[in-house]
Structure 1
Amino acid sequence: MEPLVHFPDALHHAPIGRLVSIAGHLVDQHWGRYLAEHHGLTSAGMRVLFILSRVGDSTHREVAERCFVRPATLTGIVDTLERDGFVERRRDTTDRRSVQLTLTDKGREHAQALIEVIHSDRPITSVDADPAKRAVIREFLTELITTMADGDIGRLNPDKESTDLTTRGARPC
């Protein structure tokens, strides 16, 4: 399969929704490789570290709820984090059925390093290095996120005329 960079004309003529979808997928892949290579983490593992760094020690069930996964799904993620020295499991002394998850020093260090990377707000491309273009991109992405977060899938209906710039021409992938 040829890389997309060999098809700049196709990208220039693609609908905005498709470009957002492709860009999101590529950014997710890039971020996943960065997490694995530089921190030994998956995206799911990173979310657990962020939750524990923000709220402190929590039960397995509380972390699962905050990650929007079932406790059984979280078990494998925590197994890996514990094996790699990022978190520890501790039995609650008052209720032996309850397991507390806590960050280790290593987990805290990696969570802080990742928070700093995320909040550095360095330009990703030459386009967003321009403050005026950056403001337009930020406005577009913010509106896209809030529009999509409201759950209105009707906006993606290709048979419905849209005057909303965030979805005009968008098609489900």
Structure 2
Amino acid sequence: MGPLVTFPEVLRQAPLGRLISIAGHIVEQHWGRYLAEHHGLTSAGMRVLLVLVRAGDSTHREMAERCFVRPATLTGIVDTLERDGFVTRKRDPNDRRSVQLTLTDKGREHALAIIDLIHSDRPLTSVDADPAKKEVVRQFLTELITTMSDGDIRRLNPDREPVTDNPTGSRPC
């Protein structure tokens, strides 16, 4: 049996794309735990609150489009947000089929606290605590997001035709 390889050694040998995938997964789990423990929210619920803070009141259909989910999927998210006092629903008196979503004071308070945390720009690691390294990481991630957001999988497999789940080319909220 060969020598035991430690976890950090395995990570140092992993392809960069795999590291990005692992890091994204771990950050999403960490963020999800933080939202649940400190705000009583899911990531999906947080997105709804952030859209409402930024865009103001919204119809259910508009919110589903802005969050890139189906209206039926959004219903469960909004049910939870309404039950927990983050949003209210109001029927449009001129069109009873249309439902308007509005932030409550509690929803606004939590959304603003999350925005403050996001914009605090506290270093996540010793690497991004160094301004020069942070700028390199920022440039890399910005280019990665921009490149991968165009839906062209030929960048991953140049011999394959492009396939997209997002035919409108719009970007998530």
Superposition TM-score tier, normalisation by shorter sequence: 0.7 to 0.9
* Structure 2 runs not aligned, ≥5 long: 1-5, 161-173
Superposition deviation, residue 159 in structure 1: 8.0
Match of 1:56 in 2: 56
Q: Deviations over 1:78-109 (max 9, x none)?
A: 00000000000011122122111100000000
Match of 1:37 in 2: 37
Match of 1:153 in 2: 153
Identity rate of aligned residues, in percent? 81
Match of 1:71 in 2: 71
Q: Deviations over 1:15-50 (max 9, x none)?
A: 100000000000000000000000000000001001
State the TM-score, normalizing by the size of structure 2.
0.86
User: Structure 1 residues 159, 93: CA separation in 2 closer, same or farther (over 3 Å shift)?
Assistant: closer
Superposition deviation, residue 158 in structure 1: 8.6
Match of 2:123 in 1: 123
* Structure 1 runs not aligned, ≥5 long: 1-5, 161-173
Superposition deviation, residue 157 in structure 1: 2.4
Q: Which has the higher contact order (CA 8 A, sep 6+)?
A: 1
Q: Deviations over 1:107-132 (max 9, x none)?
A: 00000000001111110001110111
Match of 1:144 in 2: 144
User: Structure 1 residues 96, 159: CA separation in 2 closer, same or farther (over 3 Å shift)?
Assistant: closer
User: Structure 1 residues 158, 12: CA separation in 2 closer, same or farther (over 3 Å shift)?
Assistant: farther
Counterpart secondary structure, 1:150: coil
| Backbone CA RMSD of aligned residues | 1.4
Structure 1 counterpart of 2:135, one-letter code: A
State the TM-score, normalizing by the size of structure 1.
0.86
Superposition deviation, residue 156 in structure 1: 1.5
Counterpart secondary structure, 2:90: strand
Q: How many residues align?
A: 155
Q: Hey, what's the Cα distance between the residues in 2 that align with 1:17 and 1:31? A: 21
Q: Deviations over 1:115-156 (max 9, x none)?
A: 001111110001110111111101111111111011121221
Q: Hey, what's the Cα distance between the residues in 2 that align with 1:158 and 1:14? A: 22
Match of 1:9 in 2: 9
Q: Hey, what's the Cα distance between the residues in 1 that align with 2:152 and 2:64? A: 26
Q: Hey, what's the Cα distance between the residues in 2 that align with 1:58 and 1:152? A: 31
Structure 1 moving runs of 4+ over 4 Å: none
